[in-house]
Chains A and B, each alone.
Chain A
């Protein structure tokens, strides 16, 4: 039992890695919602990533679909990104000088000072690895953990641990000038090994802060301009989705299965995405992640189900009468973008939005 408990604690950390799971589906009619003109979410795969692009289930014929919502008020194409002069250095739209030293507060209360950009970073977090690659600094990643799979270049990067373990010896051997972790378990060990460690918990609230993280890493590695560009792109695309959805009221009900009826509830990044896309999460009464009672799924009869495995849902005979199953409104996210609070997160949102409201999003 003790072993299990320990595992559960470690799990908490592991979970934090994968901020959230999947995304929603194509929607059958729902009162007051943008009518989903179901169209298989095409894997417009910008990412050469390798996630399982599951074929979409048959579209709900749903002839009774209410008239399409007003053609989307075309979102202002992103030239003028969301203004927001963010924290950090004064940002000129054109060029921000890289300034050192950079001081970052580690979540354990220490100040971590960078006199110059770290060259060899052990980035123990999927999101940070993605950020570094997105701002063109991927070659600084000296090692990472076992579950990192994006971008494809990461396949070559050494692995020095997983959700439960960190191979401190191997890390020392790599002679990194920064070890970034998203959970504090191994901070003491890293200290003792004389390594420079930075601990920032991964995002579990407010996915918009991804942009801040991007800028932060831009400063740390001395590429503030690239980071600013990526961050603005992120913010702009989020804003575009927000504006598109603005005219609509609360719409489809959704259930997301991350395996074995585990599902995200309130206080998760996924819930924020649902709010953004005007989806009503049937697990809203759940705090964080938990296993939901299947009775509740039957009772709440969601319009849409998001899952990693269609068979897991369709194979459950008790769910055969649920609207999403009857209509084939089951969405299998083509990538793990929505699981990682990195630059691709917005892409996950866009894909889900396209699948849900094909008429609304290009």
Chain B
């Protein structure tokens, strides 16, 4: 015993250096704000670039001029066509903003699901949330259920009802007296996902022999993005994401076995329920207007995790930034690559996302990351 103490005492000064080394990932001690700041700048640059590109060519200078003309001190540039104002303010900017919000929401909910279910495959799609939310939204859109209640857009609420029902069913099926075995939960999620997806497709096919718009929705698209949609979506997403971020440190503790986490003072069942509700609400709101955009909730958090470690206090906000950037870029590709035609953004996220993700996986296996 005594020897141990002797040995450890002189080590103390060395240790502070090693704590620093840990703290690169040890967020509580020295949070890598600068990484978030750089991420934020990259996102901002991406967003500006995305706003400057489109199927209609507008010179970059005019883009800046037209955008700034909304501020009191700036005039509309002389060379600007009046349609540019509409294109930028009514079409492109709302799209970029909505894509960013949805990307951040899907990525952060994805990270939360992965943390909660301790399963790297858990994303809003796998646990049935997205399909459930999609079914909820489809029912409202295609049946006589009123869309507004006292001026309040109910679409996200319906999507949430569908999404949370899907999780609840999956959860109650998987639950037994010992806990919630993950494999069962995921299997139940997949089954419910398939069922909800099938019912949605059926409703859509029945309602519209002209199937193209249905396909767009299934693959996700921001083509009809409007400012008001961003507003509605934010009302649901901001509180949800705030809750998820607030529990980031607890999410770290939850990575322990549940009984262990509970011994460390985490009320596991309550926290899980709260976070599932929050993540589901965010996902549902994101899905309700724009259809099922896949892959963002899976690759953004994984990329962050593989490169920057395991602390949810960093994973969550960084996933949000990565998800927003990724989806803004994906939407840019969707609306320009086949110009003047558009692709569904879900196709782009899969096309760009899957190879990138495989590359990251490969690098990690090779020990590079």
Contacts and interface: CB of A to CB of B under 8 A. Distances in A.
In the complex they form, whether A and B have CB atoms below 8 Å apart is answered with: yes
Interface of A: 1, 3-4, 7-8, 11, 14-15, 17-18, 21, 146-147, 162-164, 258-262, 265, 283, 285-286, 289-296, 298-299, 301, 308, 316-318, 321
Given A293-B341, A296-B340, A11 B215 contact: yes
Interface string B177-202: 00000000000000000000100010
A261 B341 CA distance: 10
Nearest to B227: A317
Contacts of A260: 212-213, 216-217, 221, 223-224
Contacts of B8: none
Contact of A258 (B56, B86, B210): B210
Given A293-B335, A318-B86, A321-B83, A285 B340 contact: yes
Interface string B73-110: 00000000011001100111000000000000000000
Given A258-B210, A290-B338, A295 B215 contact: no
Given A162-B205, A260-B224, 10 more contacts: A7-B201, A11-B211, A259-B212, A286-B340, A286-B341, A289-B212, A295-B87, A296-B340, A298-B91, A301-B83
7 contacts: A1-B294, A18-B210, A259-B213, A261-B342, A298-B56, A298-B87, A317-B90
Given A291-B342, A293-B55, A296-B56, A163 B335 contact: no
B209 interface: yes
Nearest to B54: A295
Which 7 pairs show the lowest CB-CB distances between chains A and B?
A318-B90, A260-B213, A290-B341, A293-B55, A259-B213, A291-B342, A147-B209
Contact of A293 (B213, B226, B339): B339
Given A295-B55, A296-B55, A317-B226, A262 B216 contact: yes
A297 to B, nearest CB: 9
Given A259-B212, A260-B216, A321-B82, A294 B91 contact: yes
B282 interface: no
Contact of B215 (A7, A261, A316, A318): A7
Contacts of A15: 211-212
Contacts of B83: 298-299, 301, 321
Contacts of A308: 210
B199 to A, nearest CB: 14
Interface residues of B, number: 38
B91 A318 contact: yes
Contacts of B197: 3
Contact of B212 (A164, A258, A296, A316): A258
B87 A299 contact: yes
B350 interface: yes
Nearest to B218: A4
Contacts of B208: 259
A291 B339 contact: no
Most A CB contacts (10 A, CB to CB) among B83, B91, B219, B221 go to: B91
Interface of B: 54-56, 82-83, 86-87, 90-92, 197, 201, 205, 208-213, 215-219, 221, 223-224, 226, 294, 335, 338-344, 350
B86 A290 contact: no
A265 to B, nearest CB: 8
Nearest to A263: B341
A291 B216 CA distance: 9
Most B CB contacts (10 A, CB to CB) among A3, A261, A265 go to: A261
A147 B217 CA distance: 21
B223 A294 contact: yes
Nearest to A148: B209
B175 to A, nearest CB: 29
Nearest to B213: A260
A208 B112 CA distance: 59
B155 to A, nearest CB: 15
A308 B87 CA distance: 24
Contacts of A292: 340-342
Contact of A291 (B56, B210, B226, B341): B341
Contacts of A8: 215
Contacts of B92: 295
Contacts of A293: 54-56, 223, 335, 339-342
Nearest to B341: A290
A316 B339 CA distance: 20
A295 B56 contact: yes
A299 B80 CA distance: 12
A64 to B, nearest CB: 20
Most A CB contacts (10 A, CB to CB) among B55, B197, B201, B294 go to: B55
Most B CB contacts (10 A, CB to CB) among A15, A290, A295 go to: A295
Contacts of A259: 208, 210, 212-213
Nearest to A262: B212
A316 B205 CA distance: 24
Contacts of B82: 321
Nearest to B216: A260
A12 B143 CA distance: 26
Contacts of B90: 298, 317-318
A308 B54 CA distance: 27
A264 B167 CA distance: 40
A71 B181 CA distance: 80
A262 B91 CA distance: 17
A265 B339 CA distance: 13
A309 B67 CA distance: 32
A160 B197 CA distance: 23
A262 B213 contact: yes
Contacts of B217: 260
A296 B341 CA distance: 9
A301 B86 CA distance: 12
A77 to B, nearest CB: 36
A22 B55 CA distance: 24
A321 B341 contact: no
Contacts of A1: 294, 350
Contacts of A11: 211-212, 215
Contact of A321 (B55, B86, B210, B212): B86
A316 B229 CA distance: 12
A262 B55 CA distance: 16
